[in-house]
Amino acid sequence: MTDQIVIPDTSAPKTVPVDERGEQSRWLLFYRRNGRALNAFLTFMLVWAFFASNNPTLFLIPGYYNAFLFSVPATIIITTALVFVIVSGELDLAFPSVMGASGGMFMSLVLLDIPILPAAAITMAGGALIGLLIGAVVVYGKISSLVATLGLNFFIVGLVNLIAQGRNIESRESVGTLGYRFFTGRWALGDTGILIPNHFIIALIWVAFCYVLFTYHRFGRRVQLVGDNPDSARQMGINIDRIRVGVFVFSGLAAALCGVILVQTANMVWFPTSGKAYLLIALAAVFVGGTPTWGGVGTIFGAFFGALTITLIPSGAVGAGFAGFWTDFMFGMVIILTMIAHRFSGARVR
């Protein structure tokens, strides 16, 4: 048997490099995953702090927040729904007309003595049907969604005005009913003097539903896959045409819910131009919220804070002592700065 000679290793022991930036890397990773929503939240807080510092007395009055919470739900609902459309790689410019048409449909049902809650459910189904028709025109007609929905927006608004002949629809006797209180009732937030309206609670529930649908449900995941790479999605067996139509159906459903809410917050009065003012507001809120135009990327919570920010600017600017013509300048500045901030929260994919 041969003896083995063991030569001791006298070389310096190998050292494993310690990543002193490990903690920083974890925070950086968290930011890159949630940076768009965080940017939108910080933007909202900075805008609020700027206005509050100019007129702290106003921003300590509960009445200001009562008015703000009363006016913001429709923007929240339509903005979070548009995330699905834009992430899929499409664009919906017809939602304001769907809001207006849905409000008219709802009021017509109420005048037929249909209770408010069933009328709202029928209206939302009608909004989804309009969204289905819009999606079919875009997808199966192979027309650019920008061009198609812009044209359909004018067409639906024109059709609604032709039917209504420019007249409002009112149902004052419905004010105070159970269905009306379901949408517009208010709850006191302790002893703060702040009243939380029911339709704001509905908007919060809607945001939670959109988040779960977008993040965990296969529909939301497929929307992201289709928007990121349609060819790969098709090879994975995803029916991309069905998904693209589906996002317009979802947008139509949300627009109909907004139409129902707008009518009731106006004390059961419908105007033919209802919803028209939300086109630029909702789109600005989506982009401030961190959903870029190239598809595949989006954030529901970011859209929520984007809606809060865009709604805050007009009333906050006036309340802080700025003249009304400052509003557009502030809109533009906030949008540009948040777009720059979003650029550092993740690489551009397209």
197 SS3 class: strand
Are 47 and 312 a contacting pair, CB within 8 Å? yes
| Predicted local distance difference test score (pLDDT) of residue 294 | 83
Buried b (16+ CB within 10 A) or exposed e, 109-126: bbeeebebeebbeebbeb
Helices then strands, counting H and E runs in the chain, come out as 14, 4
β-bridge mates for residue 197, sequence order: 186
Place of tokens 């059961």: 268
Looking at the chain, the whole-number percentage of residues with pLDDT higher than 70 is 89
Q: What is the pLDDT of residue 97?
A: 95
Distance between CA 131 and CA 94 in Å, rounded? 9
Round to whole Å and give the CA distance between 64 and 62. Answer: 5
- Burial (0-12, 13-18, 19+ Cβ within 10 Å), 190: exposed
Q: What CA–CA distance (Å, rounded) separates 152 from 274? A: 16
Thinking of the domain 40-342, which architecture would CATH place it in? Answer: Orthogonal Bundle (1.10)
pLDDT single digits (tens) 82-127: 999 999 999 999 999 999 999 999 999 999 999 999 999 999 999 9
User: Would you report the helix, strand and coil content of the chain in percent, each value rounded to 5?
Assistant: 70, 5, 30
Long-range contact set of residues 322-328: C-beta below 8 Å, sequence gap at least 24 = 322/54
Which amino acid is it at 237? G
Q: Map out the domains of the chain as residue ranges.
A: 40-342
More reliable by pLDDT, 181 or 34:
181
End-to-end alpha carbon distance in the chain: 69
Q: What is the pLDDT of residues 258-304, one digit of tens each?
A: 999 999 999 899 988 888 889 999 999 999 998 888 888 889 999 99
